[in-house]
Amino acid sequence: MNTIPALPYEYPLPDSLDHLALVIIDMQRDFLEPGGFGDALGNDVTQLQAIVPQLKKLLHTFRDLGLLVIHTQECHEPNLSDCPTSKLTRGNAALRIGDRSDMGRILIRDEPGNAIISDLAPRPNEVIIRKPGKGAFYNTPLASVLQKYQITHLLITGVTTEVCVQSTMREANDRGYECLLLEDCTASYFPSFKAATIEMLRAQGGIIGWTSTTDPVCQRLFQISRK
Ligand code: TIU
């Protein structure tokens, strides 16, 4: 069996890399640029930009190897019919989901701020999952997409580590997916939350999954694909 160096122990890969997918969570302007939802919640958005080079490297590896790439976007319908009042009324009362900002309406599908950043822009053959919640399975077609492509193993990346990334990894783990979180491809507005999330996900013998970093993962995937 092929494995990848990881914590708390080597991550077991599937028999064929065709069963492995890269999931990139919410790398959208809303969270990474001033004037979006992250900013409206009072966060320092520059924290998240640091992971872009490594995430680009991982994305290019998946593209070079012809493996499945899934991008998610946190967003709502223009009429907010998929946004519960509990979500709408939290945060900054002066700038809420659906309000107008410099990047269009906050967290609304197809608005400029909802676009995935240009460095990681999806290609036409890649999957885009629009999600109204923090977890990527809730009220989305993600489960059926993974079934269709016979995916069993997920490399998980994106923002923010303790919110949408953690929710998605927990949802995926409960559904039986083997999840590996890339530490240098995920970020939080709060470095201490990122560190705590990484610790808790891989604690107790990998109770939610594994963690690793981009370079050993890319090396290993290229090695295996050359065999
Ligand atoms: N606020 C925060 O940390 N995150 C979110 O609202 N969404 C995601 O994590 N994508």
Question: pLDDT tens string for the chain (227 positions)?
Answer: 999 999 999 999 999 999 999 999 999 999 999 888 898 888 999 999 999 999 999 999 999 999 999 999 999 999 999 999 999 999 888 889 999 998 999 999 999 999 999 999 999 999 999 999 999 999 999 999 999 999 999 999 999 999 999 999 999 999 999 999 999 999 999 999 999 999 999 999 999 999 999 999 999 999 999 87
Distances (CA, A) of 224 to 15, 65, 207, 216: 10, 10, 27, 12
Q: How many angstroms does the Cα of residue 220 sit away from the middle of ligand 1?
A: 31
Is 227 considered catalytic here?
no
Instruction: Give the number of the atom of ligand 1 that is nearest the alpha carbon of residue 167.
Output: 9
Q: Are strands 3-4 and 104-105 parallel, antiparallel or unpaired?
A: unpaired
Statement: the pTM of the whole predicted model exceeds 0.95: yes
Pocket test for ligand 1, best of 73, 164, 171 (most atoms within 8 A of CB): 164
Candidate of 32, 33, 134, 190 to mutate for ligand 1, largest count of ligand atoms within 8 Å of Cβ:
134
Q: Compute the distance between CA of residue 207 and CA of residue 200 in angstroms, rounded to an integer.
A: 8
Distance 201 CA to ligand 1 centre (A): 18
Domain map of the chain by residue range? 3-226
Cα 74 to Cα 24, 90, 111, 160: the distances in Å are 12, 16, 12, 11
Q: State the first-to-last Cα distance of the chain, in angstroms, to the nearest integer.
A: 13
Residue 167, Cβ neighbours under 10 Å: how many?
18
Distances, alpha carbon 116 to alpha carbons 25, 76, 112, 122, 129, in Å: 10, 15, 9, 8, 12
Q: What atom of ligand 1 comes closest to residue 26's alpha carbon?
A: 10
| CA distance linking residue 133 with residue 123, whole number of Å | 24
Q: What is the pLDDT at residue 35?
A: 84
CATH of domain 3-226: 3.40.50.850
- Closest-lying ligand 1 atom to the alpha carbon of residue 163: 9
Atom of ligand 1 nearest to the CA of 158: 10
Instruction: Please give the single-letter amino acid code of residue 33.
Output: E
Query: What's the full length of the chain, in residues?
Result: 227
Say if ligand 1 is within 6 A of residue 117 CB. no
**Phi, psi dihedral angles at 106 (to 5 degrees):** -65, 125
Any ligand 1 atom below 6 A from CB of 26: yes
* Structure confidence at residue 40 (pLDDT): 84
- For this structure, is 131 an active site residue? yes
Distance 211 CA to ligand 1 centre (A): 20
The whole-angstrom distance between residue 172's C-alpha and the CA centroid of its chain comes to 12
Q: How many helices (H) and strands (E) does the chain have?
A: 9, 10
Q: Are 207 and 201 in contact (CB under 8 A)?
A: yes
